[in-house]
Amino acid sequence: MSITLDAPLSRQDAAAVAGGAELRLSEAAWQRLARGRAIVEAIVDRGMLAYGVNTGVGALCNVVVDRPHQRRLSRSIVMSHAVGVGAPLGAAETRAIMAAAVNNYAHGRSGVRPALVEQLLALLAEDCIPEVPSLGSVGYLSHMAHIALVLIGEGTALHRGERLPGGEALARIGRAPLVLEAKEGLSLVNGSPCVTGLSALALSRAERLAGWADNIAAMSFEVLRGQPVAFDEASLALRVSPGMQASGRRLRALLADSAILAAATGRQTQDPLSLRAVPHVHGAVRDALDMIGTTVERELASVTDNPAVMGTPEAPEVYSEAHAVAPAIGLAMDQLGIAVAELAAMAERRIDRLVNPLVSGLPPFLAADSGVASGFMIAQYTAVSLAARNRRLASPASLDGGITSALQEDHLTHATPAALKALDILDNAEHILAIELLAATQAYDLLEGGLARAAGTDLLYRDVRAALPPYRDDRPLAGDIAVARGILQRDPG
């Protein structure tokens, strides 16, 4: 798959590049880059005072840097900002950041040379991914600095899985290290591509998981013999929520003509909320993701550099502002984390109902031989633990505060940490829903009466059973959870 960037990338395009799609620039985008660079060169030639071009950065913004030292300034910025610590990001996360950076530069307001963007595109095309420590950013800066290191032949990269020094990795793909020119060091660590790329990836994963949550909830609902009248179109239409209507339609389609549910009609007046309120909770998550999607799209359409260059080479303009700060997308990622945590918390409650003989009507803990076998007893413990961890992670990063750079940066939005913890919450949620998928499938095997599943849920059941046999305490259940999580990486249909 190849994506050509002309207008700003969509969030779906950014996520596709994260997943391995090739990224190219249109001729118009290359022209915007060239014009932006010509403006920077005019600023340098005229000696116009411009932050990060011929001044220091942060609290050193009023220290003038003469022309002979501007290359050194760019290199020094990259070196001093490469302060990340901790485990490295995955390839998808790093590719997402790089795609968002290219997107930002292609607006033509950053002033980097086309050669710098060519270097980034070559790394993506050749699967030569910089090693980027995950921690150390209060908003932006450090993640892109580690990517920038590889552009200049420093740092470390993984070339098709092999870990190499940056210079050697460039040589492997036929590229030479860049010598950074005026403003390029600042532009490489500036803007908010880290949070924007990570957010596009997180949103793509969350939307896929929301689809799977409907699928898996339908299986649990059926095997627990719920009352589908709660999902009737006329009833759900009483509450205004596009997301709820979408979840309701999906549930009705999956459960249509279920002999199991037909036999259970009228068994009780109403079901517990973890079953009856599935379209309400899942729908609220869908509505939240739609709003978050608008924010991510706006961020991709925005210039996020400070300073931004405008005007023409004949009449250059430079604007010092705060576009690198990303409060809107930070708030959106906090919201995404909360939404996904709630989706997973409800799934954990359904798991408990599946394994609890007091309410399920099924063998205790879905064990094939209760007493000798524990079945899914401890898998539910794992789900409880992960749901609790999500509650801790869902605390908003946007309110963390902090002061940096000698009071020059005295308000921090922590947007990138918000995106990183949203990705952590997604990891946990995928594991929880994988456990529910396994438990619901096992419950079908133990359900007495021989009644037919709905056609929609039967397809899901068969998909799992094609990959895994029924569980009989005959193998580590952790392996089954990993397989089920792999299923959740597919399109939910």
DSSP run (H or E) holding 204: helix 193-223
Helix residue ranges, H only, 47-183: 70-81, 91-105, 114-125, 142-151, 166-172
Instruction: Tell me the pairing of strands 128-130 and 156-159.
Output: antiparallel
Would you call 374 exposed, middle or buried from its count of C-beta atoms within 10 A (0-12, 13-18, 19+)? middle
> Cα Rg for the chain, rounded, in angstroms?
26
Backbone torsions φ then ψ of 348, nearest 5 degrees: -60, -40
In three-state secondary structure terms, 2 is strand
Residue 7 to residues 95, 105, 106, Cα–Cα distance (Å): 19, 12, 9
Whether 134 and 166 have beta carbons less than 8 Å apart is answered as no
How many whole angstroms separate alpha carbon 306 and alpha carbon 34?
18
Q: Which two tokens stand for residue 36?
A: 């932006």
Whether 274 and 353 have beta carbons less than 8 Å apart is answered as yes
- Cis peptide leading into 307, omega within 30 of 0? yes
Find the catalytic residue in 51, 140, 444, 461. Answer: 51
For residue 462, how many other CB atoms are within 10 A of its CB? 12
Distance from CA of residue 351 to its chain's centroid? 25
For residue 300, how many other CB atoms are within 10 A of its CB? 26
Beta-ladder partners of 23: 3
Whether 398 and 418 have beta carbons less than 8 Å apart is answered as yes
In 3D space, the residue among 97, 282, 56 whose CA is nearest the CA of residue 186 turns out to be 56
Instruction: Tell me the pairing of strands 22-25 and 2-5.
Output: parallel
First to last CA, the chain: 21
Active site residue 51: yes
Residues annotated as part of the active site: 51
